[in-house]
Amino acid sequence: MEPSRHRVPAAAALLVLVAVAAVVGRCGAQLPIPVRTDGFLYGGKSAAPAWGDAVVVEAFFDPVCPDSRDAWPPLQRAAAHYGARRVAVVVHLFPLPYHSSAFMACRSIHTVHKLNASAVYPLLENFFKYQEGYYNMPTYTKTRAAVVAEIANNLVAPVIGEANLAAYRAGFNDSQSDQATRISFKFGCARGVTGTPYYFVNGIPLSDSGSPMDYNKWISTLDPLVGKM
Ligand SMILES: *[C@@H]1O[C@H](CO)[C@@H](O)[C@H](O)[C@H]1NC(C)=O
Ligand SMILES: *[C@@H]1O[C@H](CO)[C@@H](O)[C@H](O)[C@H]1NC(C)=O
């Protein structure tokens, strides 16, 4: 009789655990599905190759991350070397939680994308160029509103023009740009992105992710793939 008295609570506890796990799993499993897949195709829609016709390089960048900044020129050079028909480059924004301006920076780019898709890469490059002003230390005592205003005036306005700033400010406030930025973050999490830059080639993660990959490494990675098409 002794052993069974212990077994019943143990079995009950296990059942409860399984039930809790099932409920938690159900609540947490389905991420919001965006209306379009995340990411910005480099070169724009006119450069889009047919599905399956190009090697696809996906890069996850944080606009205020120095390694993302350093990673872009060599990837851009490799993209130019092959051309968009052979190597399609897609940049996903990934706001790292320990960069205090990252979410605002990514939201800014999503906002601009809605106004003028051609302005996405010029704005990303502006962030890379001036990101040091938006690191944690220089913005530590600034309000969020001040940082948002600085981004609008110093980085966005030169790209989209002063005349479009009102539309930009309204779009930045809109919940849609907030949602798009959350999706970018969740999209990266769902694919196991743990830092930036983070790369996938034809969907497969590269082990060099986490630090900038130089031009020669891109060529040695992509040449065997491009040559086989
Ligand atoms: C969109 O942005 C690009 C890049 O900044 C610019 O050349 C172009 O004139 C803009 N288009 C419109 C309609 O504002
Ligand atoms: C954006 O939201 C803030 C806070 O709610 C508000 O003070 C500001 O006027 C809004 N700006 C625009 C352009 O909608």
Type and span of the H or E element at 99: none
Query: What pLDDT is attached to residue 180?
Result: 97
Q: Where are the domains of the chain?
A: 33-226
CATH topology of domain 33-226: Glutaredoxin (3.40.30)
Residues 12 and 5: their CA atoms lie apart, in Å, by 12
Q: Note the pLDDT tens digit of each residue in 162-199.
A: 999 999 999 999 999 999 999 999 999 999 999 999 99
pLDDT band at 12 (very low <50, low <70, confident <90, very high): low
Query: What pLDDT is attached to residue 81?
Result: 97
Ligand 1 centre distance from Cα of residue 112 (Å): 10
**Tokens standing for 206?**
């590269």
Query: What pLDDT is attached to residue 15?
Result: 47
Residues 124 and 205: their CA atoms lie apart, in Å, by 23
Per the listing, tokens 């986490």 go with: 210
Q: Note the pLDDT tens digit of each residue in 70-101.
A: 999 999 999 999 999 999 999 999 999 999 99
Would the CB of 170 count as within 6 Å of ligand 2? yes
Q: Note the pLDDT tens digit of each residue in 25-84.
A: 445 679 889 999 999 999 988 888 888 899 999 999 999 999 999 999 999 999 999 999
Would the CB of 157 count as within 6 Å of ligand 1? no
Q: Note the pLDDT tens digit of each residue in 192-225.
A: 999 999 999 999 999 988 899 999 999 999 999 9
Query: What pLDDT is attached to residue 31?
Result: 87
Of the two residues 41 and 18, the one the predictor is more confident about is 41
- What mean pLDDT is predicted for residues 126-141? 97
Which amino acid type is present at position 82? Y
Contact predicate 47/84, CB 8 Å: yes
Would the CB of 122 count as within 6 Å of ligand 1? yes
Query: What pLDDT is attached to residue 224?
Result: 95
Name the residue among 186, 32, 171, 39 with its Cα closest to residue 114. Answer: 171
Query: What pLDDT is attached to residue 122?
Result: 98
Would the CB of 173 count as within 6 Å of ligand 2? yes
Q: Note the pLDDT tens digit of each residue in 145-164.
A: 999 999 999 999 999 999 99
Name the residue among 91, 153, 156 with its Cα closest to residue 119. Answer: 156
Would the CB of 169 count as within 6 Å of ligand 2? yes
Of the two residues 183 and 19, the one the predictor is more confident about is 183
Range with top average pLDDT, 25-29, 136-140, 225-229: 136-140
Ligand 2 centre distance from Cα of residue 174 (Å): 9
Would the CB of 162 count as within 6 Å of ligand 1? no
From 40, 45, 46, 118, mutation site for ligand 1 pocket: most ligand atoms within 8 A of C-beta? 118
Query: What pLDDT is attached to residue 229?
Result: 66
Ligand 2 centre distance from Cα of residue 121 (Å): 26
Chain center to CA of 182: 10
Predicted TM-score of the model (pTM): 0.86
